[in-house]
Amino acid sequence: MELLDVKYDLGTEQNKRRISNIEGFASLIKELKERELTEEVIEVLNKHIELINSLSGNIKKLNRQVSKSKLIIFQTLDRKMRIVPKNAYRNRWLAIGMVVFGMPMGAAYGVSMGNMAFIGVGIPIGMVFGMAIGARMDKKAAKEGRQLKFEVS
């Protein structure tokens, strides 16, 4: 099975953000065509490409659907094939680091100082720890060839 082409008609649309979102989706599909994907993943991708192709008349609906489809495609690629966009792990671990590392460190510091107002001190420290872990995971994914050239904005 082969990936379908993205066909969209922007008409007289002048909004650069909407245009870049749709063109970004097309470049994502173009990049995925160069990779070896499983039949199950190709089926999901083709379903969303067909949906995008069918909505080419209404630019607002098309743009909304493109955003939803990109999210589902990234989730499918991550779950089924462990393929992630650039900085996916860094962004994920930034939040995890704040909660898992930062809050307990801040609470411990606040208790030791006798003033719980210092609980917020640990949050940026946890954020840095999380970003470091995520960056290391991103580097590993790139080394293994599991990282897309595409970055989620």
Question: pLDDT of 59-105, one tens digit each?
Answer: 778 888 888 999 999 999 999 999 999 999 999 999 999 999 999 99
pLDDT over 90 percentage in the chain: 61
Cβ-Cβ contacts under 8 Å for 45 (sequence gap 6 or more): 3, 4, 29, 32, 37, 73, 76
Percentage of the chain modeled with pLDDT above 70: 92
The C-alpha atoms of residue 54 and residue 70 are separated, in whole angstroms, by: 16
Q: Report the pLDDT value the prediction gives residue 47, as an integer from 0 to 100.
A: 93
Q: Quick check: 57 pLDDT over 90? A: no
Q: Is the pLDDT of residue 9 over 80?
A: no
CA 5 to chain centre: 22
Q: Which residue in 98, 74, 97 sits closest to 147, CA to CA?
A: 74
Q: How confident is residue 141, by pLDDT bands cut at 50, 70 and 90?
A: very high
Report the C-alpha gap between 69 and 63 in whole angstroms. 10
pTM of the predicted model, to two decimals? Answer: 0.81
